[in-house]
Homo-oligomer: A and B are copies of this chain.
Amino acid sequence: MGVALTQAALDLGHEVVVISGPVSVTYPAGAKVVPVITTDEMLSAAMEHFESCDGAIGAAAPCDYMPRKIHTQKISKTGQPLTIELVETADVVATLGQNKKEGQWVVGFALETEDQRFRAIVKLEKKLCDLMVSNGPTAIDSDDNEVELLDPSGHVIEAISGSKSHVAKRILAQLQQRLVKRN
């Protein structure tokens, strides 16, 4: 979706900064790509670049958790079970939502396996998003997607399915009409 949204935004004449984790896709040449590894790095880069952007679309799936302790040496097998303690990472989209200035907008993505629309609306409110794209696990590693675009009142503005390129174009068209043109 990141590639498709980048292309759709470029096609509408926007300048695009992509903050991307280590993925195997290639972004359109017209975009500035900022590579990051950890969720914390993504948050720092997003906050830095958000300053000079009209808005942000959060289509990445950064890790929700990180290990409490990082071992510097290989852990040897002992014959016993092993427990990994994880702590939550910072929420990138929620932090952008909390820090948006007058006129800036934030579009989030919610990928849920159960109660998709309900959970997407909860995330939209919690993360102070202006639009939320609700999708499911079939989106992962697929050329296609099936999404619902939700507004802050929880209404489904548009249900979109098809290629990720098509879905991205429709999301950008709605975003252009509702968020970009209002400014």
Chain A residues with CB under 8 Å of chain B are 64-65, 68, 72-77, 79-88, 91, 111-114, 119, 137
Contacts and interface: CB of A to CB of B under 8 A. Distances in A.
A143 to B, nearest CB: 19
A149 B87 CA distance: 41
A84 B81 contact: no
Contacts of A76: 119
Q: Is the interface of A mostly helix, strand, loop or mixed?
A: loop
A64 B81 CA distance: 11
A121 to B, nearest CB: 14
Contacts of A75: 64
A15 to B, nearest CB: 32
Contacts of A74: 111-114, 137
A123 B80 CA distance: 17
